[in-house]
Structure 1
C-alpha cells in the first residue's frame, strides 16, 4: 500500500510552482500559491521540525530586538 504524506506533496507542489518566472504568473496563480504555502505551514507547524523552525525564528527575532535597543 502506498501512502503519501500531504505535507511532502504540498512541498513538492510549492517547489515546482516557485520555479516558474515571476513575470509569467497571474494574480490568481499567486493567490493559489500563497494558499498552498499557508496550508503547508499549518501541516508542518505541529511537527518537531515545525517547532524547531518556530524556535529558531523566535531566537532570531529576539536577537534583532535586542540589537535595536
Structure 2
C-alpha cells in the first residue's frame, strides 16, 4: 500500500490548528512561524486551478470595491 498526500492539504490543516489557538498564548516567533507557513501555502496553491480561481474572485471583489468607491 502506497500512501500519498498533498503538501498543500497538510499545510492547510496545520494552519487551521495554529489559528484556532488563543492569540494571548502566542509568542512573536510563533506568529512569524504561522506567517511563514501561510506564505508557503500560498505559493503551493497559486499555480493550481483552485489558486487561480481564488485570484480571479479576489480580483473581481477588489475591482467592485474600487468602482463603488469612485464618483
Runs of 4+ off more than 3 Å: none
Q: 1:41-60 residue pairs with structure 2 within 5 A?
A: 41-60=42-61
CA deviations 1:1-28 (Å, max 9, x no partner) are 0011100000010011011000000000
Query: Which segments of 5 or more consecutive residues in structure 2 lack a partner in the other structure?
Result: none
Q: How much is the aligned-residue C-alpha RMSD, in angstroms?
A: 0.5
- The alignment covers a number of residue pairs equal to 69
Query: What TM-score, normalized by structure 2, do the two folds share?
Result: 0.95
TM norm structure 1: 0.98
Give the structure 2 partner of residue 29 of structure 1.
Answer: 30
Corresponding residue of 2:14: 13
Query: Aligned-pair distance for 1:34?
Result: 0.3
